């Protein structure tokens, strides 16, 4: 059995709208529908999709915050909405947009309170605090009230807090939102180490595909409430109908190159761009071009993952 099992999961919201002075109509918004996937222990899964796709709604169902309107979810063998408090001991959650720390308390007090709320054994607590504080560089911030922390500092505090009780699963909803490049890099490194050393299962949503490329072996793409792709990152490139590009620098300007299996998408003086399917090999193409034209230089460009995903969302 997988650690997270989601089957035909759905969630609707009834939204009441004013229609005229007194009349109200209600529309049903399907935020998530017929979502099915499984995640095994130790996986790092990127959960991506455009705004309003249903990512946060899914995570809220997997933590027990929202009760699904259909289908089923099992996390660590528990049904989240019915066994919410039991599940809470086994998962960590970080919502990037807000904090689950106590706004007016210093980080140290927040951590201490969590220790007691979760009844974390002293040894575990001290080890986790030492490890995470060092790795997340929180040492100097422990006595600062949360409201005085910068966004990036607070985020690190939130992540450390979510990990104090050794959760098996860590859900991260946009953990890198608003972070600078250096902080992002650090955070990614930390998460990778967490997954390697402790086998913590990670599920993260993000709009920064750099996070996905740096961390996730697997991506689930959700659009309009349902999964449109689920697989390893490399096959998202090939499977998404994207193409690789062969850039050819000819010695002289010439008419568009005519070869089999590729088509010219752009010409700029002696430089020409040839698109070919991401799944096929570049070798035959290169030899055809080299045989038929005077080539000064060649290079191959992998499809941009953002383009791939844009394709998926659009299609």
Partner 1 sequence: MRAYWLIALLWIRAALSYPVSFWTMMVGGVLITFLDFVSIWLMFTHIDSYGGFSLREIGLLYGVTSIAFRIADMLVGSVEKIGQKVRSGDLDAMMTKPVPVLVQLCADRFELRRLGQIGQGVAVFAWAAPIVDWNPQRLGVLVMAIVSGVVIYFCVFVTFSTIQFWTTDASEFANAFTYGGNTIMQYPMTIFPREVVRSLTYLLPLTFVNWYPCLFLLGETDPFGAPGWFRFASPLAALVLVGITALVWRQGLRRYRSTGS
Ligand X SMILES: Nc1ncnc2c1ncn2[C@@H]1O[C@H](COP(=O)(O)OP(=O)(O)OP(=O)(O)O)[C@@H](O)[C@H]1O
Residue 87 or 138: which CB sits closer to partner 1?
87
Q: Residue 49 binds which one of Mg ion, ligand X, partner 1, none, with CB within 5 to 8 A depending on kind?
A: ligand X
Residue 29 or 127: which CB sits closer to ligand X?
29
CA 171, 98, 3: angle at the middle one, nearest 5? 10
Q: Determine the interface stretch with ligand X among 45-53, 101-109, 147-155, 261-269 (rule: CB under 6 A).
A: 45-53
The helix/strand/coil state of 5 is: strand
Kindly state whether residue 17 participates in binding ligand X, applying the rule CB under 6 A.
no
Kindly state whether residue 29 participates in binding ligand X, applying the rule CB under 6 A.
yes
Q: List binders of partner 1 among 101-130 (CB under 8 A).
A: 102, 104-105, 109, 113, 116-118
Among 4, 32, 35, 66, binds partner 1 (CB under 8 A): 66
Q: Residue 8 binds which one of partner 1, Mg ion, ligand X, none, with CB within 5 to 8 A depending on kind?
A: none
Residue 184 CB-half CA count within 13 A:
17
Token pair, residue 139, equals 């040492």
Among 8, 86, 189, 297, binds partner 1 (CB under 8 A): 86
Kindly state whether residue 64 participates in binding partner 1, applying the rule CB under 8 A.
yes
Kindly state whether residue 192 participates in binding partner 1, applying the rule CB under 8 A.
no
Rg from Cα positions in the chain: 24
Kindly state whether residue 53 participates in binding ligand X, applying the rule CB under 6 A.
yes
**66 within 8 A of 81, measured Cβ to Cβ:** yes
86: left (phi over 0), alpha (psi -120 to 50) or beta: alpha
**219 within 8 A of 45, measured Cβ to Cβ:** yes
Q: How far is the CB of 169 from partner 1 (least distance, A)?
A: 11
Kindly state whether residue 55 participates in binding partner 1, applying the rule CB under 8 A.
no
Look up residue 259 and give its DSSP letter. -
The helix/strand/coil state of 131 is: helix
Residue 97 or 299: which CB sits closer to ligand X?
97
Among 10, 35, 57, 190, binds ligand X (CB under 6 A): 57
Helical segments of the chain, H only: 55-63, 84-88, 107-117, 122-135, 151-163, 181-198, 209-215, 233-239, 283-292, 305-314
The helix/strand/coil state of 186 is: helix
Residue 66 CB-half CA count within 13 A:
20
Token pair, residue 174, equals 């946009």
Kindly state whether residue 154 participates in binding ligand X, applying the rule CB under 6 A.
no
Q: How far is the CB of 129 from partner 1 (least distance, A)?
A: 18
Contacting residues toward ligand X, per CB under 6 A = 13, 15, 29, 31, 49, 51-57
């Amino acid at each position: 059995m997988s650690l997270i099992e989601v089957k035909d999961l759905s969630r609707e919201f009834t939204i009441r709208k004013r229609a005229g002075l007194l009349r109200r109509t209600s529309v049903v918004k399907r935020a998530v529908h017929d979502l099915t996937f499984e995640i095994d222990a130790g996986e790092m899964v990127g959960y991506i999709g455009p705004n309003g796709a249903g990512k946060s709604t899914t995570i809220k169902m997997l933590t027990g915050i929202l009760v699904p309107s259909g289908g089923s979810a099992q996390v660590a063998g528990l049904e989240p909405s019915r066994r919410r408090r039991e599940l809470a001991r086994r998962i960590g959650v970080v919502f990037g947009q807000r904090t689950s720390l106590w706004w007016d308390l210093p980080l140290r007090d927040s951590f201490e309170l969590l220790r007691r709320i979760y009844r974390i054994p002293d040894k575990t607590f001290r080890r986790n605090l030492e490890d995470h504080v060092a790795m997340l560089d929180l040492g100097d911030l422990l006595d600062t009230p949360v409201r005085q922390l910068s966004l990036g500092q607070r985020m690190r505090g939130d992540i450390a807090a979510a990990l104090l009780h050794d959760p098996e699963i860590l859900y991260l909803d946009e953990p890198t939102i608003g972070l600078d490049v250096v902080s992002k890099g650090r955070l990614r490194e930390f998460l990778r180490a967490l997954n390697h050393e402790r086998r913590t299962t990670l599920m993260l949503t993000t709009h920064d595909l750099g996070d996905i490329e740096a961390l996730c072996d697997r991506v689930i793409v959700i659009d309009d409430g349902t999964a449109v792709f689920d697989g390893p990152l490399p096959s998202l490139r090939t499977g998404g109908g994207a193409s690789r590009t062969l850039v050819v620098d000819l010695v002289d300007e010439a008419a568009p190159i005519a070869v089999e299996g590729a088509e010219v998408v752009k010409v700029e003086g002696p430089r020409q761009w040839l698109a070919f399917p991401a799944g096929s090999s570049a070798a035959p193409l290169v030899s055809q071009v080299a045989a038929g034209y005077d080539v000064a230089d060649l290079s191959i460009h992998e499809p941009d993952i953002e383009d791939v995903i844009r394709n998926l969302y659009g299609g």
